[in-house]
Structure 1
Amino acid sequence: MRPATAADSPALEAMILARSSWLEHRGMPSWRASAQDLAGQAENTDGSMWLLVADSPERIVGCTTIQQQTPPWGWTEQELAEPADYLYSTITDPADREHRPGTIIALWAVDRAAREGKHWVRRGCMFPGLVRYYETQGFKLFHEVQRTRNRIYLMGRRAETIEELPQLFNVG
């Protein structure tokens, strides 16, 4: 994992469009309309977007964005008081599904949060299928919130060091 840079935007957009095609082929909503904007997050100088890359030659396998604060809606005051990272815009290349890049990214985030003294890693999603998938990564559903037209499922996992993480990084 490494921070994204502005130079990553074109390859990142191509990866997002590949995932969008994969989703659309299965009748699911995609990021196609916002692919350029999402890839543009790589240009943020705050280093909030991270990339999972494969070596030889380097190519983007996945991305996630980490906020240092949990969005305030949907969480209790007590939950918001606990140090946490918040993941969003986690997208992976469907060509690498067999390596489980989404799980690698999630476990890396859990480990990173623990090493930085955070108590939690949180995330939200809009689809029950993603809730089930994130549960396989050790996340627990905490809240369901109705936001305008969308129901948001808010999830969390305690931060902890992941000893087997180095072995998981044999992607691509």
Structure 2
Amino acid sequence: MYQMREATIADAGPIADMVRARSAWLSERGLGECADMAEEYGSQAGNPDFPVWVLEHETDGVVGCTSHFGNESLPPWAFTEDEQAEPTLFLATTFTRPNPHRLGRLIAWWSLDRAAGLGLTWVRRGTGQEQLSRYYQQAQGWDLLRVADRRGHKVFFLQRKATRVPELPELMAGRGI
């Protein structure tokens, strides 16, 4: 059984450990690493400036996290003025423990459902990894909005309409993930 909840200061260590585990998994596959950011991401838990949510499993503890930001946090260099005015939930810094259960998809679908429940129109996200952008598109149904240049690096911005996910209770119960 899974649940999403707002992160607390007590989640800082488990989030940092999870980021290090994901970093090792990425490194083993030649996909980069992010271990140097683990403590920073962990320190965002419980910080009111960073709306961090954790995916918690009833026996495994914290197995995923993400941050939800509103329109005010959309990077102006990446979104048009019209896009910045649209009611949006922006997903950032999503991590999961390496696992075979598509927990990242579970977090994304929970976010789509939450955004719809809040009356928002879009869920948007960005990544600096082209391979991850393709995965989001092919496995999770995201649409590529644009590729932006940020200080000489490509950043891929994706979006999906906020929508209720009727099967979410079954997925959170661990069935069908």
Note whether the superposition's TM-score is higher than 0.5: yes
Aligned residue pair count: 169
Match of 1:44 in 2: 47
Q: How far is 1:47 from its partner?
A: 6.2
CA RMSD in angstroms comes to 1.5
Counterpart of 2:81 (choices 68, 77, 80) is 77
Q: How far is 1:132 from its partner?
A: 1.4
Counterpart of 2:92 (choices 83, 88, 95) is 88
Gaps of 5+ in 1: none
- Is the CA contact 1:85–1:121 (under 8 Å) kept in the aligned structure 2? yes
- Is the CA contact 1:4–1:47 (under 8 Å) kept in the aligned structure 2? no
Counterpart of 1:137 (choices 119, 137, 140) is 140
Match of 1:65 in 2: 67
- Is the CA contact 2:44–2:50 (under 8 Å) kept in the aligned structure 1? no
Q: How far is 1:31 from its partner?
A: 1.3
What is the TM-score of this pair, normalised by structure 2?
0.91
Tell me how far apart the structure 2 counterparts of residues 47 and 36 of structure 1 sit (CA, whole Å).
14
Q: 1:105 is matched by which residue type in structure 2?
A: I
Matched, 1:2 2:5: yes
Q: 1:98 is matched by which residue type in structure 2?
A: P
Tell me how far apart the structure 1 counterparts of residues 146 and 156 of structure 2 sit (CA, whole Å).
6
Match of 2:34 in 1: 31
Tell me how far apart the structure 2 counterparts of residues 30 and 64 of structure 1 sit (CA, whole Å).
17
Q: 1:37 is matched by which residue type in structure 2?
A: E
Match of 2:58 in 1: 55
Q: How far is 1:45 from its partner?
A: 2.6
Tell me how far apart the structure 2 counterparts of residues 47 and 161 of structure 1 sit (CA, whole Å).
24
Match of 2:158, SS state, is strand
Match of 2:151 in 1: 148
Match of 1:42, SS state, is coil
Matched, 1:161 2:161: no
Q: How far is 1:149 from its partner?
A: 2.7
Gaps of 5+ in 2: none
Q: Which runs of 4+ in 1 moved over 2 A?
A: none
Matched, 1:98 2:103: no
Tell me how far apart the structure 2 counterparts of residues 73 and 114 of structure 1 sit (CA, whole Å).
26
Q: How far is 1:46 from its partner?
A: 5.0
Counterpart of 2:16 (choices 10, 13, 16) is 13
Deviation string 1:93-125 (CA, Å, 9 cap, x unpaired) is 00xx22110000000000000000100000001
Match of 2:160, SS state, is strand
- Is the CA contact 1:85–1:120 (under 8 Å) kept in the aligned structure 2? yes
Match of 1:38, SS state, is helix
Match of 2:63, SS state, is strand
